[in-house]
């Protein structure tokens, strides 16, 4: 297949043959689902990928999974195949459908002996447990959450939290979305990634909470669902108030916080591979170290440098 995306950032180099497992001194980010709103399989989206939000972060023998979108199914299958499914921690940005729809299809959920920790910010009006149970109720889904919930622990974090999950230190901040959502910063061995999806910028200023969270991070994964023209209503209806952002606003945050690399994420379900590539090029014109988040791509951050591993899984 022709590669339509000039994916590798200037500071990365492709490495097709090396073992993709993380050495103990590296922070590794691997994308399993990068799409927003709704899965979008098809020939036009095959390169970027059609699964909704799911990102695996590992370091020092610890792992956290960011969001449980449809990309979680394949990750669950791989964890089982590797024999690494006994303890998993999922950090949910929020509980909109595209961020939790993969959970009922996460194989470790149905395996005795596997313990699953589900973490989120506050969920107004309901507990996290009850929200997740609500999508697994007959006749919507054949297996009720109660069948598996004995192996599941839910945790709702306060607004600004700092928690260690094994070797990984996780810090949170509240973002701007129609329902409550939080961003996660994960630090390990002097490296850091911030996951900030489903957030809408305020035109003319950067989000001070997000800038503080991102300060000096190696990677910012940012909601770039709309082009600036779409956002402002110059193409179709205005997207103001819909809870999502643009690559331009991502660049503003990245610059203000001295972030090294920006990964555009939560691609619109209608966005073709060619259109994602075009948006990346536009972003690189103002922030050269931009990449598109896409399935099967890993970013590895080691002590002195990092590389982008483009090997398919
Ligand atoms: Zn979303
Ligand atoms: Zn959302």
Q: What is the pLDDT of residues 180-211, one digit of tens each?
A: 999 999 999 999 999 999 999 999 899 999 99
Q: How far is the CA of 156 from the centre of ligand 2 (A)?
A: 17
Contact 166, 61 (CB under 8 A): yes
Nearest to 291 by CA among 229, 234, 228, 247: 247
Neighbours of ion ligand 1 (CB under 5 A): 36, 98, 198
Q: How far is the CA of 155 from the centre of ligand 1 (A)?
A: 20
- According to DSSP, the residues that pair with 226 across neighbouring strands are 246
Tell me which ligand sits closest to the C-alpha of residue 178: 2
Q: How far is the CA of 282 from the centre of ligand 2 (A)?
A: 25
Judge whether 307 lies within some domain.
Answer: no
Label residue 24 by pLDDT band (50, 70, 90).
Answer: low
Q: How far is the CA of 308 from the centre of ligand 2 (A)?
A: 28
Judge whether 119 lies within some domain.
Answer: yes
- Per residue in 95-106, pLDDT (tens digit) is 999 999 999 999
Q: How far is the CA of 183 from the centre of ligand 1 (A)?
A: 13
147 vs 16, more confident:
147
Judge whether 13 lies within some domain.
Answer: no
Q: How far is the CA of 280 from the centre of ligand 2 (A)?
A: 22
What pLDDT, on a 0 to 100 scale, did the predictor assign at position 274? 98
Interhelix angle 247-256/273-286, nearest 10 degrees: 40
Nearest to 29 by CA among 235, 155, 135, 188: 188
Judge whether 17 lies within some domain.
Answer: no
What pLDDT, on a 0 to 100 scale, did the predictor assign at position 151? 84
Judge whether 167 lies within some domain.
Answer: yes
What pLDDT, on a 0 to 100 scale, did the predictor assign at position 146? 86
Q: How far is the CA of 27 from the centre of ligand 1 (A)?
A: 25
Domain tally for the chain?
1
Q: CATH number of the domain at 127, please.
A: 3.60.15.10
Judge whether 118 lies within some domain.
Answer: yes
- For residue 192, give its domain range: 27-299
Neighbours of ion ligand 2 (CB under 5 A): 96, 198
- Per residue in 60-88, pLDDT (tens digit) is 999 999 999 999 999 999 999 999 999 99
pLDDT at residue 3 greater than cutoff 90: no
Q: Average pLDDT, stretch 279-293? A: 98
Q: What percent of the chain has pLDDT over 70?
A: 88
Q: How far is the CA of 137 from the centre of ligand 2 (A)?
A: 22
Judge whether 86 lies within some domain.
Answer: yes
Tell me which ligand sits closest to the C-alpha of residue 223: 1
Judge whether 281 lies within some domain.
Answer: yes
């Amino acid at each position: 297949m022709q590669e339509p995306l000039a994916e590798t950032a200037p500071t990365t180099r492709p490495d097709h043959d090396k073992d993709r497992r993380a050495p103990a001194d590296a922070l590794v980010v691997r994308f399993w689902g990068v799409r927003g709103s709704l899965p979008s399989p098809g020939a036009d989206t095959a390169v970027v990928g059609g699964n909704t939000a799911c990102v695996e972060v590992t370091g020092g023998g610890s792992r956290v999974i960011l969001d449980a979108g449809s990309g979680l199914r394949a990750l669950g299958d791989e964890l089982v195949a590797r024999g690494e499914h006994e303890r998993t921690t999922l950090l949910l940005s929020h509980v909109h459908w595209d961020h939790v729809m993969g959970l009922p299809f996460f194989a470790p959920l149905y395996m005795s002996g596997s313990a699953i920790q589900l973490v989120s910010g506050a969920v107004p009006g309901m507990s996290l447990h009850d929200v997740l149970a609500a999508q697994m109720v007959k006749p919507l889904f054949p297996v009720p959450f109660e069948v598996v919930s004995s192996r599941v622990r839910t945790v709702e974090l306060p607004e600004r939290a700092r928690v260690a999950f094994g070797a990984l230190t996780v810090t949170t901040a509240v973002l701007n979305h129609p329902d409550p959502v939080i961003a996660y910063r994960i630090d390990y061995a002097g490296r850091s990634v911030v996951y900030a999806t489903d957030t809408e910028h305020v035109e003319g200023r950067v989000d001070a909470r997000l800038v503080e969270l991102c300060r000096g991070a190696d990677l910012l994964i940012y909601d770039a669902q709309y082009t600036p023209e779409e956002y402002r209503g110059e193409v179709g209806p205005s997207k103001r108030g819909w809870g999502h952002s643009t690559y331009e606003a991502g660049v503003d945050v990245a610059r203000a916080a001295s972030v090294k690399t920006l990964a555009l994420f939560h691609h619109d379900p209608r966005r073709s591979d060619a259109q994602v590539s075009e948006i990346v090029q536009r972003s690189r014109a103002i922030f050269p170290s931009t990449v598109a988040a896409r399935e099967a791509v890993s970013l590895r951050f080691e002590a002195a440098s990092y590389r982008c591993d483009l090997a398919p899984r």
